[in-house]
């Protein structure tokens, strides 16, 4: 409750804080519904029931089912980008940046496999067409690629200019392929675990192999 006599800026700050809190609760409820019921069971009514809200109340925060789903995916990518981007920016060389990206991506999603599935697999399995990608949405997502792939590429290219690594290596493409390789490894791990047939190889060992493989690409003759 807002106290009587509270200043207008303070009232506005509390209102915005409450708005953000409810918005976050709706996103968490959406994730819960998707994990339990899949894309086919994802409806605004289901999310509203999860929170004991009315469907009309949801529309105050998200104007459509599509918007809600996109914002959930956007939130996951934003968090991952912050974690991986910070790890990359703490490095000085191309090899260290590539290694940091691989390890940070594996560490982030390895602890959040449900988020990985929702972000990268759910849109592909969405036969109900719960979300379409507009130009505006693509524009919001592209900076994530620049923060990670661009930062790795900058460090590789700086090393190339200094003659420390071969100049023929396509820096940004290498960063992209390394990132997708980590995602593929984790998605395979999640797939076999879902049918109770875990991989023979431990995740740390597989991550080490990826680091060695991509690091070798930066050596002379790589």
Over residues 156-209, the pLDDT tens digits come to 999 999 999 999 999 999 999 999 999 999 998 888 877 677 778 899 999 999
Higher confidence at residue 13 or residue 91? Answer: 91
3 φ/ψ sector (left φ>0, alpha ψ -120 to 50, else beta):
beta
Higher confidence at residue 86 or residue 37? Answer: 86
CA angle 154, 155, 160 (to 5 degrees): 95
The DSSP 8-state label assigned to residue 106 in this structure reads H
Give the C-alpha separation, 111 to 70, whole Å.
Answer: 22
Q: What 3 state SS string does 111-163 have?
A: CCHHHHHHHHCHHHHCCCCCCCCCHHHHHHHHHHHHHHHHHHHHHHHHHHHCC
Domains of the chain by range and CATH? 8-63 (1.10.10.60), 65-216 (1.10.357.10)
As a whole number of angstroms, the longest Cα–Cα distance in the chain is: 73
60, 24, 62, 15: which is closest to 43 by C-alpha? Answer: 62
| Contact indicator for 172, 191 with CB cutoff of 8 Å | no
189, 186, 155: which is closest to 171 by C-alpha? Answer: 155
Give the C-alpha separation, 82 to 124, whole Å.
Answer: 24
Q: What is the length of the chain?
A: 222
pLDDT confidence bin for 212, thresholds 50/70/90? very high
Mean pLDDT for 117-137 is 75
Percent of the chain with pLDDT strictly greater than 90: 67
* pLDDT at residue 9 in the model: 76
* pLDDT at residue 18 in the model: 84
Residue carrying structure tokens 């100049």: 167
pTM of the model: 0.85
* pLDDT at residue 222 in the model: 66
Contacts of 120 (CB under 8 A, 6+ apart): 183, 187
Structure-block tokens of residue 95: 């090899």
């Amino acid at each position: 409750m807002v106290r009587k006599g509270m200043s207008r800026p303070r009232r506005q700050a509390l209102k915005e804080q409450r708005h953000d809190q409810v918005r976050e609760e709706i996103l968490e409820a959406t994730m819960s519904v998707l994990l339990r019921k899949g894309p086919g069971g994802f409806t605004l009514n289901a999310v509203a029931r999860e929170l004991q809200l009315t469907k009309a109340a949801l529309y105050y925060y998200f104007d459509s089912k599509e918007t809600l789903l996109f914002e959930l995916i956007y939130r996951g990518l934003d968090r991952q980008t912050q974690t991986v981007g910070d790890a990359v920016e703490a490095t000085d060389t191309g090899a260290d940046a590539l290694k940091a990206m691989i390890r940070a991506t594996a560490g982030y999603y390895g602890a959040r496999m449900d988020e990985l599935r929702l972000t990268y697999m759910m849109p592909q399995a969405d036969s109900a067409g719960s979300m379409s990608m507009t130009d505006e949405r693509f524009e919001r997502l592209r900076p994530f690629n620049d923060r990670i792939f661009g930062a790795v590429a900058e460090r590789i290219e700086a090393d190339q200019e200094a003659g420390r690594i071969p100049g023929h290596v396509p820096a940004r493409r290498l960063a992209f392929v390394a990132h997708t390789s980590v995602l593929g490894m984790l998605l395979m791990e999640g797939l076999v675990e879902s049918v109770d047939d875990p991989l023979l190889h431990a995740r740390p060992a597989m991550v080490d192999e990826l680091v060695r493989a991509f690091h070798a690409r930066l050596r002379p003759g790589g």
